[in-house]
Structure 1
Amino acid sequence: MRVTVIGSGIVGASAAYHLSSHGADVVVVDADLDGQATAAGAGIVCPWVDHPDDDAWYALARSGARHYPELMEALGEDLGYERVGALLVAEDPAELEPVRALLERRYAGAPEMGEVSVVPDPARLFPPLAEGLTAVHVPGAARVDGRAVRDALLRAAVRQGAELRTGVATLTARGEVLLSSGDGSVTSGALPGPDAGGGDGSWRQAAPVAGAQSGTRADAWEPEERRAAPEERRAAPEERGAAPEERGAALEERGAVGKDRAGEGATEEKVAADMVVVAAGAWSGAVCRPLGVEIPVFPRRGQIVHAVLDGADTAGWPIVLPHVGPYLLGFPGSRVVVGATVEDVGFVPRVTMGGLEEVLRAGLRLAPGLAGATVTETRVGLRPVRAGGPPLMCRAGERVVVATGLSAYGLTAGPYAGLLAARLALGEPAPLDLTPYRLPS
C-alpha cells in the first residue's frame, strides 16, 4: 500500500514510522512552515491531572503516556525521556485538594502515575522555587525531548523505506495529493467554536481562554486581556472570526481554497497514494478543504524560554505545574524550560517582547531562584486546537485519514496518535475506541 503522510511533526513522524513498520510504501511531505508545534513543545508527559470531565480526551492522553516506554525501547536511543515526576504546586494547600482527589480516583486505572504524596517543601526537589509553596508529587510524570523523538521516528521510518520530501501539499476533491516544490503558503479558515477555550476543571486547563473567537490574547496566568499588537490586530478575516461569507471571500482572494499550493515559478506534481494521512497540525484545515470537509482546528500560539542555570544539576529535577501559570522543567546540561503563553492570534508564529515578558515575569514569581539563569533560546509554536471537542483521529473520506487537534498535549499523545492514524490508514483495528474522535456530522 502507498501512503502519503502530510506533516512531519510528532504525529506525522509516528504515523510514518508505524506505517513503514507494517510494510507500507510511505512518502512524508512537509511544508517546513514556521511555527510547527512539535519543535516548540516543552515535553511534559503528565496526563492524569487534566480533563476530569472529558473521558475521551483523558483516554487518549493517558494512552499516549503509556505508549512511551514501549516506543523508547523500540527506537533504542536516548531521546530525553525520563520519569522525573511532577510537582503540582500552590501557595494554599486547600487548592491542591481537588487534583489530589482526582488522582486518587484515577490511580486504579492508571497505576503508572505512581504513589501520589504531599510535599510540604517542594523547593527541596526543585531548588529555585519560591518559599511557602506546597505540592502534590506525581512520581510517574515524565519529560521528553520532542524534537529528538520526532527526528528518531523519521530516521527509523527512512531506514524502513520511507521517503521524506519538502513541499506544500494539498488534496484534490478526490483525495489525490498535489505537491508544490516552489514557494507556497498555507492558511486555514478553521475557527474556534463557542466551546473552544479552557475552563473544564482541569488542573492545567482551568484558566479561561477569553477572546477565542476574536483573535485576542488569552494568557494562562493573567485573567485580564491585553491589547494585541497592531500587526496581530490586522489578522486576516478567517483568523479574527469574520462572518463566513467574509472568510470565504478572503480565502479565495488569498488562494487558500485549493489554490494556495504554489508561488510563481513553482512546480507541481501529483504524488501517487492509496491512502493519505493528514497530520499537518493547525494547517490541516487548509490541506483538507478541497475535499469539501471543514476541519474544526485552529492555531493557539505558545511562547517558551530556555535558560541555563550555571552549576545546577537540573537533569533530575521534577516538572513544576502550578494550577495557573508557567510550567517549569529541567533537562540535562543545567537547562531549564519556562512556558508557555496561551494566545489566540491566528497564524502569527512570532516571538514577541510582550510574550517573553509574561513568561519571564510569571516564571520568576514562581521560581525566583532562576533570576541569574542565562536565556539561551526562545521558541514559538502554533498548537492545533480542536474547537469544542477532543482531538480528531478519523477518516475524512474514503482515502484520507486526519490526525490533529492535540493542543498542548502534542508531545504527550502525539506518538500514540500517529499509531492510531497508521492503523486507520491500513484498515486495522485500533487499540482505542475512536468513535469520540470523529468529525462532527
Structure 2
Amino acid sequence: MTPTSDVIIIGGGVIGLAIARALARDGLRVTVFERNAQPGGEASWAAAGMLAPQAEADAPGPLFDLCLRSRALYADFVAALWAETGIDAELCPAGTLLLAEEENEVAALQAKLAWQTAAGCHAEWMSPDEVQALEPLLKSAGALYLPDDWQVENRRLTQALVAATMAAQARFVCHCEGLELLVERGRVAGVEMRGERWAAPAVVNAAGSWAARMSPALLRLPARAVRPIRGQMLALRMPLLTRLRHVIRTPRAYLVPRRDGRLIVGATVEDVGYEKQVTAGGVFSLLAGALAVAPALAQAALVETWAGLRPLATDNLPIIGETDIEGLYCATGHYRNGILLTPITAEIARCLVRQLPPPCDIASFSPRRLYEADVLCSEASLPN
C-alpha cells in the first residue's frame, strides 16, 4: 500500500523542520525526507545563530523587510518551542556591536547608522572608549551598536524543532537519495525513492544547498540556481571573568558568545562546491580576525572546528513560493539568514500549502524569477 501524506517536506534542516511542525500542528499528515541519518545536521547545526537583519543589510529592500519581520517573531517562536519540548534555545537579547577596526571603516558604519535610523530601526554610534567600557576585551575605532540584533543557540534550536516536529506527529524518512517527483495532470502527486512511491498533493523543497542538485524533474530550478558556500568556524573557551557579552562583528570575523562559555568565531566564505573540510588557512584567518580586535583571546582554548554549507541563490535572494508545477513549493536559498528567516519562512510555506494568503509580499522571492531572469547562464558574485 502506498504511504500517503498531506504534504511532503524535502530537507530536515531548521527551515524544513519549522514548516513541518507548523503544518503538522494544523492537523496535516506530514512526512519529512532527510538525506542524512538524522535531521538538522547540515547548515542548521553549523551556523552561528545570529539574528542580525541590521548587521547583514547594506541597504533597505525586500530581503531586509523580510528579515525584520522574522526577527520580530523570534521571541514567541522560541517560547513556543520551549513550551512544547522543554528545550531552551537560549535566545540572547544582548545586541550586536559592528566594530570598526580602523578609522577608514568608520564612515561606512555611520552611513549604515543613517539609513537604518531613517528606516525606524534602533542603532547607536559608540566611541572607542564607550566600546571598551561595554566590552573591556575589545580594541576598536568605534562601533555601531544594534540592540535588536540578537542571537540564538542554533544547535539547541535545531534540537527543539526536531522534538517539536516529532511531538506534532510528523513522520521522518532518513537516508534519502534519488528522490523523483510524481506529477499527474500538471500537479504534484508525491515522490518516488528507490522504486517506492509516497503520495502527497503538496511537496516543499527545503533541501538547502542540495535544493537544485537531487533531480531536475523534482526541483524545477536551474542546476546552479542554488549552490553551497562553505563557512569554516571554530569555538574558543575563555575563563568566566574575561568573556564577551555581545555579538561582535568586524570586517574579518564575528564573535558570538554562548551561555556555556564557548565563543563561536566565524566564518569563511568559500565557493568550493560540496567540500566541508576544515583547512589550516581557514582557521588561521578566523583566529587572526578575532585576535585583531580581542588580543586576550590568544590565551583561549581552541575546543572545536567545523564547516557548513550555506545555500546561496544566484541572485542572493531566498527562494520561497510555488513553482510552475501546482503543489510544488520551494523554501531554500536563505544563505547566511537561514536561522533568522526560519519563523517567517515556516509561516509563508504553511499559508501557501493551505491555500491561505501569505503574511507578507513574497513576489521578490518567487522561484519563477529564476527562469524569467535566465539565470541558468549566469553566476552571481558572493555577497559581502
TM norm structure 2? 0.84
| SS in structure 1 at match of 2:212 | helix
Please give the per-residue CA displacement for 1:76-128, whole angstroms capped at 9, x wherever unaligned.
Answer: 342121111111111345633443343443346554xx452424232333333
Measure the CA separation in 2 of the matches of 1:297 and 1:402. Answer: 11
Pairing partner for 1:303 from 229, 232, 237? 232
Sort the Cα spacing of 1:15 and 1:132 in 2 relative to 1 into closer, same or farther, 3 A.
Answer: closer
Determine the structure 1 residue equivalent to 2:63: 57
Pairing partner for 1:385 from 312, 328, 335? 312
Structure 1: which 5+ residue stretches go unaligned?
181-267
1:66 aligns with 2:72: yes
Determine the structure 2 residue equivalent to 1:16: 20
1:422 Cα deviation from its structure 2 partner:
2.1
Identity %: 29
Q: How does 1:255-404 map to 2 (within 5 A)?
A: 268-291=195-218, 293-295=220-222, 296-312=225-241, 314=243, 317-322=245-250, 324-396=251-323, 397-404=325-332
1:25 aligns with 2:29: yes
Q: Which amino acid aligns with 1:105?
A: W
- Say whether the 8 Å CA contact 1:10–1:411 is kept in structure 2: yes
1:367 Cα deviation from its structure 2 partner:
1.6
1:90 aligns with 2:100: yes
| SS in structure 2 at match of 1:73 | helix
Pairing partner for 1:106 from 97, 116, 119? 116
1:405 aligns with 2:338: no
Pairing partner for 1:172 from 168, 181, 187? 181
Q: Which amino acid aligns with 1:413?
A: L
1:155 Cα deviation from its structure 2 partner:
1.3
- Say whether the 8 Å CA contact 1:391–1:403 is kept in structure 2: yes
- Say whether the 8 Å CA contact 1:173–1:290 is kept in structure 2: no
1:303 Cα deviation from its structure 2 partner:
0.5
- Say whether the 8 Å CA contact 2:50–2:151 is kept in structure 1: yes
Please give the per-residue CA displacement for 1:315-373, whole angstroms capped at 9, x wherever unaligned.
Answer: x7111111x21001111122111110010000111112221121112221222111111
Q: Which amino acid aligns with 2:216?
A: R
- Say whether the 8 Å CA contact 1:2–1:274 is kept in structure 2: yes
Measure the CA separation in 2 of the matches of 1:21 and 1:35. Answer: 23
How large is the Cα RMSD of the aligned pairs?
2.2
Residue range with higher mean Cα deviation, 154-163 or 28-37: 28-37
Measure the CA separation in 1 of the matches of 2:120 and 2:68. Answer: 8
Aligned length: 349
Measure the CA separation in 1 of the matches of 2:108 and 2:289. Answer: 23
Pairing partner for 2:154 from 146, 159, 170? 146
1:292 Cα deviation from its structure 2 partner:
7.0
| SS in structure 2 at match of 1:347 | coil
Determine the structure 1 residue equivalent to 2:375: none
1:173 Cα deviation from its structure 2 partner:
5.4
Q: Which runs of 4+ in 1 moved over 6 A?
A: none
Measure the CA separation in 2 of the matches of 1:157 and 1:342. Answer: 31
Q: Which amino acid aligns with 1:172?
A: L
1:293 Cα deviation from its structure 2 partner:
2.2
Structure 2: which 5+ residue stretches go unaligned?
373-384
Determine the structure 2 residue equivalent to 1:210: none
1:291 Cα deviation from its structure 2 partner:
3.9
